[in-house]
Structure 1
Amino acid sequence: MGIVRRQGLRNTVISYVGLALGFVNTVLVLPKVLEPHQIGLTSVLVALATMFAQVSAFGFGNMGIRFFPYFRQREAGHHGFLPFLLGVPLLGFALVAALYLLGKPLVLSWYDDDAALLNQYYGWGLVLALFTLLLNLQDAYLKALYHTAFSSFSQEIVLRLLITAGALLFGSGYLDFHGYVLWYIGVNSSIALLLTVYTAFIGELHLRPTRAVLGVRPLREMLSFGAFALLGNVSGVIITTIDSLMVGSKVNFDGAGVYSVAFFISTALVLPFRALYKIAFPLLADYWKDQDLPRMADFYQRTTRLNTLLGCYLALGIALNLDFIFAQMKPAYAAGATSVLILLAGRLFDGITGVNGLIVVTSPRYRYDLLFNASLAAATVLMNLLLIPRMGLTGAAVAAAIALVTINIARTWFVWHSFGLQPFDRRVPLILLVAAAAGLAAWLVPFVHSLFVTMLLRSSLLTVVYSGLLLLTNAEPQVREVLLKLRRRVRKR
């Protein structure tokens, strides 16, 4: 767990700084200077770019992490692994680009009144898709190398600072909306270039192709894994992005903008999970390579407890202070409050069930993950088609939450049934009870003078009661260990 703790701590710190910047973006900047339909446009462009980038990747991001342990040999340039990792997806992107351009009339027909606005930036979506592809592939390569902190720093901090700068320039009149959209696409694309520079800096930019890459592992095996990962990734992208696309189509760009803000507020809950998963993916691949199931079982339960502890605290902190959060925005965005609560519930369940998806996708039975994702993607599209016309934004949130709960129940059962691994021990229910007690105590705090003062009181009481009960019950031993280490450091100073 040593490397996990070091990298996980760095990623967690970066994620929380990113969370603060994200809060500034989402609450204090973007909804103050941009109208909902303007945010809706950028969210639809990002969703389209993400979808097409995943198709182009041909599952090579997951393939790279899964098979890199067999290629790892720095003095040999990892046997030409990086050119192989980049080359096949870039060939795929040429085909996807043609389909993207040929499909323009069909895509625009989905958006009726907003088609003219989307038409102005449709081509730029292809540029964003290309750099999203390069970013994902390089991020996967750095994960396999256990160099995850800089990638997190670039995506969580640098990118958000640049987006904030663009919004402030727009709000100050230095950029018109057209200029802001180009800025937005440009800064998103620049992160891929920044990772390239970093990879060269650490001496891992091995771009010289070699035939040796075809001899380390059977090519058919890697392409087969990539094909299955492709279908799984596309299904995953459908699950996570189809709501934004369909809200924009079935409602309008205003609705997509409101939903996008609500979605991001709920995303604050998953940042610590993502920080851990970045290092967990290659570590689990190594566990499978060594057939070390006992260490994997211990890791599975430890990460589940940690996710439960952090997830409950963040979910309660957000839910209890939604009035304050939406008070910082234009009034139109408050329509997303119910969506935030529903999405928080789904994301919390996703975190509590642990790293089940990563265990499946790195295991010898990785093909089954495709079945879970494909079935769920189809169900998600169907649920959105049924619920968005009837319930609007709330329908999209309900569909997303059902998707998260369903896939995690299925994966958790599969991991337990297939490998005898399950994420829960007796401490998880105790953490949930502690969270419920702390949440109830904070919820009982009445409105005092202002939303800001009320927010401070609720948050403070939640923190004191939650941490106090955790220490009293010893629900998570690592909490006490961390506090003891901090006390020792303070005494030394």
Structure 2
Amino acid sequence: MGIVLRQGMKNTIFTYLGFLIGGIYTVLLVPKVFDEFPDHWGTARYLVSFALVIVPWAQLSIPNVIIRYFPIFREKKGRDFMFFISFWAIIGILTSLLIVYGFSDFIFADEKDPLILDNIYLIFPIIAGFVLFEIAAAIAKSNLKSTVPVFLREFILRLSIFILIIFYWFDIIEFNLFIQLYSYTYIAIFIALFVYLYYIKALKIRINFSAIFDTEFKELYIYAAFSILSTGAAMILLNIDTLMINHYLTLKDVAIYGPSIYIASSIMIPSRALQSIIAPMVAKSWVNNDIGLIKSLYKKSAIAPLSITIFLFLMIWINIDLVMDYFGKTFGQGKYIILFLSMGHIVNIATGINGTIINTSKHYRADLYFQVALVLMTVIMNIIFIPLYGLNGAALATGITLGLHNTLKSMFVLYKFKIHPFTIKTIYVMLIGALLFYIINQLPIIENLLISSLIYTFVFGIVYWAIVYFANISEDINDQINRFIKK
């Protein structure tokens, strides 16, 4: 776990810095800057969500192919492998963009909002930027250089958006220029990562068209075909709520939903930082048939992040009324959006790297069946819940789906590989979280919300970590606390 912890620490720092900046503009600026025109921010959110639904089909699952197969072909056919993925990356991007362009009249036939219709062409640079960056990031990860991609995606991207919002706020740029620059930031971070990969000599490639027909790469096509569908289903799962909110409600509601999603997703940071390191290690472990290491990574990928995730959720919930009060009348409708989404994320974290284990194993096809079924369930639940409960209904549908998705994948991993991420300490930390959540909801209301939040945050923070430490929930967490105390 040494390399995981070292790079994980760096990734966590950059991820938290990015989330801090993202939190400032999403939670503090967006409700104020876009209060008069929330549909402007709703347009930006919609364009990205729509692009993300297209991205898996455009990238042809090349990032997953790189993570899984680069350790196998690195020494023997590394240069041919790089040409192989580069060729199909170009084909995937061009084909997807041409299809979206050619069928745009049909795809957006029911769209009536002029802001979307006037700016729909901007999905093209967003799609291209996302695809190219994720492929480049996979190359970096496979070379155990995950920090720079995390730095660019989590920190630089959010810093750029923050600056654009400030410029828009102070009328330095108008909305049309804002939305254009917003869309092209995804191309910009890819260019930066490409330069880095060239600098570290990770782009060793040889033009060899025969590699496309190499029989040794035959398995890659089969893996990619299933992985495309699986990844596409997952991306639809994560973005369908935003698209369906626009369909059933308005762009204003899309904008309102955004800050609440951001707050809820902030509890995912510890897991995201570690998983970017663990994925190539799991892939290498399969190559070496080291199920023992996979089992160890599986458990450690769950308990420590789960402990931190529950803490972050409790801190958010202690301050939820203060946050909603700051958001104001327009954006301050997200209390239960945050609750429902957070519950789904907690289940996701608790079940560890089940998706990574499946996708890098010989049973990668199974993930597709889970995802397709859950996409259908999500669509159906959104159709039912959004008309009934509005934005809360969308969050409820997503939260339930995330929970079911990860529960089923964990059951599959247990059935096929006889491993699971749970220990008795998983139950302990869940019970600790549930008890403190109940107590928080029973706390007396203090008239001054700021003072109330500061007091309760401090007290519950100390209490939570004291319990986690003395119950020895996670050895990794206790080691870090002990090092901090010794300093």
2:59 is matched with: 57
Q: Is the CA contact 1:77–1:206 (under 8 Å) kept in the aligned structure 2?
A: no
Partner Cα distance (1:375, 1:211) in 2? 38
**Secondary structure in structure 1 of the residue aligned to 2:108:** helix
Contact 1:63–1:225, Cα closer than 8 Å, also in 2: yes
Deviations 1:118-165 (A, max 9, x none): 111111111211111101111111121111111111111111111111
Distance 1:118 1:447 in 2: 43
Asked if 1:40 is matched to 2:42, the reply is yes
Where 1:342 maps in the other structure, the secondary structure is: helix
Structure 2 unaligned segments of length 5 or more: list them. none
Q: What is the CA-CA distance between 1:449 and the residue it aligns to?
A: 5.0
The equivalent of 1:8 in structure 2 is 8
Following the alignment from structure 1 to structure 2, what is the Cα–Cα distance between the partners of residues 441 and 391?
Answer: 27
Mapped partners of 2:375, 2:446: distance in 1: 45
- Contact (CA 8 Å) 2:79, 2:206: kept in 1 or not? no
Amino acid at match of 2:66: G
Shift, 1:374, TM fit:
1.2
Match of 1:26 in 2: 26
Deviations 1:367-398 (A, max 9, x none): 11111111111221122122212221111111
CA apart distance, 1:444: 4.8
* Alignment-derived partner of residue 435 in structure 1: 433
Q: What SS does the aligned partner of 1:206 have?
A: coil
Q: Deviations over 1:78-130 (max 9, x none)?
A: 22333322320221222211221122223333333x1x111111111112111
**1:261 corresponds to which of 259, 262, 268:** 259
Report the TM-score when normalising by structure 2: 0.95
Q: Deviations over 1:410-464 (max 9, x none)?
A: 1111111111001101111112223334444555554445322222112111210
Selected match of 2:329 from 328, 331, 349: 331
Q: Is the 8 A contact 1:288 1:362 kept in 2?
A: yes
- 8 A contact 1:441–1:462 mirrored in 2: no
Contact 2:84 2:212 in 1 (8 A): no
Select which of 371, 374, 382 maps to 1:373: 371
Identify which of 165, 168, 171 aligns with 2:166: 168
Query: Per-residue deviation at 1:332?
Result: 0.7
The sequence identity of aligned pairs, in percent, is 26
The one of 390, 399, 402 equivalent to 2:400 is: 402
Which secondary structure does the structure 1 equivalent of 2:334 belong to? helix
Measured after TM superposition, the shift of residue 16 of structure 1 is 1.5
1:247 to 229, 236, 245: 245
- Aligned CA distance change for structure 1 residues 385 and 438 (closer, same or farther; 3 Å): closer
Structure 1 residues 457-478: Cα deviation after superposition (integer angstroms, max 9, x where no partner): 1211121001111122222222
Distance 1:256 1:110 in 2: 17
Say if 2:207 is the partner of 1:183: no
CA distance in 2, matches of 1:134, 1:316: 37
C-alpha change, 1:415 and 1:151, in structure 2 (3 Å) is: same
Map of 1:233 onto structure 2? 231
1:192-223 Cα deviation digits (max 9, x unpaired)? 11111111122212244246856987222101
For residues 307 and 472 of structure 2, the distance between their equivalents in structure 1, rounded to whole angstroms, comes to 12
Q: Distance in 2 between matches of 1:279 and 1:216?
A: 30
What are the equivalent positions in structure 2 for 1:259-408 lying under 5 Å apart?
A: 259-408=257-406
Assess if the C-alpha contact under 8 Å between 2:78 and 2:205 holds in 1: no
Residue number in structure 2 paired with 1:99: 99
Aligned to 2:126: 128
Aligned pairs for 1:197-236 (under 5 A) are: 197-210=195-208, 213=211, 218-236=216-234
**Partner of 1:68 in structure 2?**
70
